[in-house]
Chains A and B, each alone.
Chain A
Amino acid sequence: MGARVRALGAVAAALVLLLSACSDGGGDRDSGGRITLRFQSLAWQQESVEANKELVEEWNATHPDVRVEYVQGSWTSIHDQLLTSFEGGEAPDIIHDASDDLADFAYGGYLADLGKLLPGRLKADIPRASWETATFGGKVYGVPFLQEPRVLIANATWLRESGVRIPTPQKPWSWAEFRSVTKELSSGKDKFGVAWPLKEPVSATLNLSLSAGGQLFHRDADGKVDIRFDEGDEVVPRTVHDQVNVDGSASGSTLGMGGSDTLPGFFGGKYAMVPLGFSYRQQIVQQAPKGFDWQVLPAPAGRDGLAQGVSPQTLSVAEDSPHKKEAAAFIDFFLRPANMVRLARGDWMLPTGTTALKDPALRTRRHDWATGTALAKYLRPAPAQSVRGYPEWMDKIATPALQEYYSGAIGMDELRDRLVKDGNLVLKRYQR
């Protein structure tokens, strides 16, 4: 019995030792007065992670007094993770996120206003339209640095053989022309002109609707937002609906899919085109069968040309950080034009910086970088990202309504009714 008690005591002691051995020290300034900043990056693709880590190393090599610690974050549950860290006062100093996630944090007072901390060079380098994506109530809560337009990725051989006109950023298809082209490209029941991956239909619909003059969210003089579904808002939903349900030129089965899910059908010759984010080119390069000829085409244009909404990736500084100035200096270094090019290439996205966009590496025809960079000037802030109550409107009203409309279960009148009438009831609760 005594031996058993001793053994239990030993196990308990070992556990205590194990627990204490795993404990953390902490602190952001060491005994030599050196500052340590934590930078949580959401880079996830191999090339992008490498670019991020290299830049951090280069900073650390040239700034011995301010050390940046690279922390690998994840897009999964990023909002909840950051919110908890902010509430607990343990947020990273420098935060990588997306502009459509910043509104709640900005209004909650968790992010520092970078307006006076950033140098003129960086402010001037990024266009106003991009700054607007991270500006709330006149204050700048993030530096937008990477963005991607939605483009049409096309089976080049199929298009060439069909004889349809190939659109360019200078002479894109109109929405009506796009619909007739997809009809022409379709043949039989297993060959579709386009496959719309609309698992998350709201952002795709709203962002593309900017081209047709659709705005949906209208802000009045006192800052309150009202939803209206005008003529311009109808163009994109109606095109998709008619392609699926009237012409049979778009596959109905892809409406519930994510972008990656449509690629096997695209490679297998089922779909001539797939509307995807510009960065999907990386997956296509990796996964396309040998000899598969593909190309990037601009999304169709409408009354407002090639305009479309984007939510750029951003870098922010936590309000609780005791070293905001140093954090802003790191962001300035990190986003120098040459560095922005490296980050853009790593993520297969477009930089927001005008100097970086001129870099020959992003103007090449290889992998159709040039088509993407030509679209950069048309990118606008995603219409709803600063609207309070947007996430609830999206989840409860817009997503089911658009899914039902695209599948043919409801008509345009019902869609309008739900988006506007039910939607405004939701927004009102947030704007009292």
Chain B
Amino acid sequence: MTSRTRRTSRTSTSRTSTSRTSTSRTSAVRPRRSRTSGPARAGQYLALLAYLVFLAFPFLWLISTSFKPARELGSLHPTWVPEDPTLANYRQAFDEQPLLEAAGNSLIAALSAAVVAVVIATPMAYVMARHRTLLARAATGWVVVSQAFPFVLVIIPLFLVLKNLHLINSLPGLIMVYVVWALPFALWMLVGYVRAVPAELEEAAAVDGASRLRTLVSVTAPLLAPGIVATALFAFITAWNEFFFALVLLKTPEKQTLPVVLTHFIGAEGTADLGPLAAAAFLATLPSLVVFAVIQKRITGGMLAGAVKS
């Protein structure tokens, strides 16, 4: 047996013993879990159900409103199910505003921002997690501090910088802003995910002769995938919903994003064209819902990976 194989074998032995310990811990915990069944468990589910209803209420109300004719919107006793359902709000929303064009702009901005943010943040996060140097600690501090700046504080300097770069009224300019805005939090999330991947796995691969790049691509990257997906999704949703930067930076109608176009249904002093606004807002939430539904399991895995420290 070579020394390299011996080290690997020791690592696996230690992993096996860890796994045994955790198994015995789990079995010790099991009876305590079963004691929460019965009324307490029912209460938990009830609380969960109440929370779900609380979360779902505005969305279901939005859907209901989007199918109601104007007269039903002014009813003193509104119903969940429209009495006289209509698609008129959707027709009006599409007639009055370039929703598809705006959705296309939002999609380009959000996808690009998510991809670029993740491409930049992943290697940075890896270095910050694996090499705990003074620079890494300073970067973590910067991440926390950067979250404290409100939009209005940075918008004018940002506007001037982008103007000098001839990036006002352009999606690339907006994408740059979204990337910079999402980067600190994405970095912070990814550092957690990288730390959750045991360094021993990379050491084992190195012992087996894998190069640094091979280790990263074949060992670390697959384990990081859920975290990367969750981070990308965060960056996507942030950019998809963002309003103020898009409002200020995009001038021509054909470049405006969906959140900006949605405000065209809102007038002065809080008045709004409620039916078409609800219809357009419902359509605007669909992409996020679809993405969540498709990759829900991966996100959950990613979130758990970030939550548990090795």
Contact = CB atoms under 8 A, between A and B. Distances in A.
Contacts of A268: 75-77
Nearest to B249: A84
B94 to A, nearest CB: 12
A267 to B, nearest CB: 5
Contacts of B267: 44-45, 75
Contacts of A15: 112, 115-116
A4 B260 contact: no
B266 A44 contact: yes
Given A44-B264, A264-B74, A24 B248 contact: no
B126 interface: no
Contacts of B92: 46
Closest 9 CB pairs of A and B: A268-B76, A287-B74, A22-B171, A19-B172, A74-B263, A88-B159, A286-B70, A76-B263, A258-B270
A11 B71 CA distance: 51
B298 interface: no
A305 interface: no
B155 interface: yes
A199 interface: yes
A400 interface: no
B64 interface: no
A18 B112 contact: yes
Interface in A258-290: 258-260, 263-265, 267-270, 277, 279-280, 283, 286-290
B28 interface: no
A191 to B, nearest CB: 13
A355 interface: no
A269 B260 CA distance: 37
B277 to A, nearest CB: 10
A22 B172 contact: yes
Interface of A: 1, 4, 11, 15, 18-20, 22-24, 26, 38, 42, 44-46, 49, 69-72, 74-77, 80-81, 83-85, 87-90, 92, 98, 199-200, 258-260, 263-265, 267-270, 277, 279-280, 283, 286-290
Interface in B211-252: 213, 217, 243-244, 247-248, 251-252
Interface residues of B, number: 52
Given A19-B171, A19-B175, A88-B168, A287 B255 contact: no
Given A81-B247, A81-B248, A87-B159, A26 B169 contact: yes
Contacts, number: 141
Contact of A259 (B171, B260, B271): B271
A45 B270 contact: no
B257 to A, nearest CB: 12
B71 A289 contact: yes
B72 to A, nearest CB: 9
B112 A19 contact: yes
Nearest to A69: B252
A260 B76 contact: no
Given A1-B213, A77-B247, A288-B71, A259 B112 contact: no
Given A49-B96, A88-B159, A88-B160, A263 B74 contact: yes
Q: Which of B70, B155, B263, B269 has the most CB of A within 10 A?
A: B269
A81 B243 CA distance: 11
A267 B76 contact: yes
Contacts of B273: 44-46
A24 B267 CA distance: 29
Interface in B245-297: 247-248, 251-253, 255-256, 260, 263-274
A28 to B, nearest CB: 12
Contacts of A4: 217
Contacts of A46: 92, 96, 273
Main DSSP-derived SS at the B contact region: helix
A267 B74 contact: yes
A92 B166 CA distance: 17
B55 interface: no
B7 interface: no
A71 B253 contact: yes
A126 B262 CA distance: 34
Interface string B60-78: 0000000000110111111
Contact of A287 (B73, B116, B248, B269): B73
8 contacts: A15-B112, A18-B112, A22-B170, A23-B170, A24-B166, A46-B273, A90-B169, A98-B268
Given A88-B163, A264-B76, A80 B152 contact: yes
Contacts of A77: 243-244, 247
Given A74-B247, A75-B266, A283-B271, 8 more contacts: A1-B217, A18-B108, A72-B253, A76-B247, A81-B247, A88-B156, A200-B269, A264-B75
A290 to B, nearest CB: 7
B248 A84 contact: yes
Contacts of B266: 44, 74-76
Given A46-B96, A71-B251, A84-B248, A267 B272 contact: no
B156 A87 contact: yes
A267 B217 CA distance: 65
A290 B72 CA distance: 11
A89 B270 contact: no
A69 B75 CA distance: 40
B163 A89 contact: yes
A260 B256 CA distance: 28
Contact of A44 (B159, B217, B251, B265): B265
Nearest to A20: B172
A376 to B, nearest CB: 19
Nearest to A80: B152
A72 B97 CA distance: 10
Contacts of A42: 268
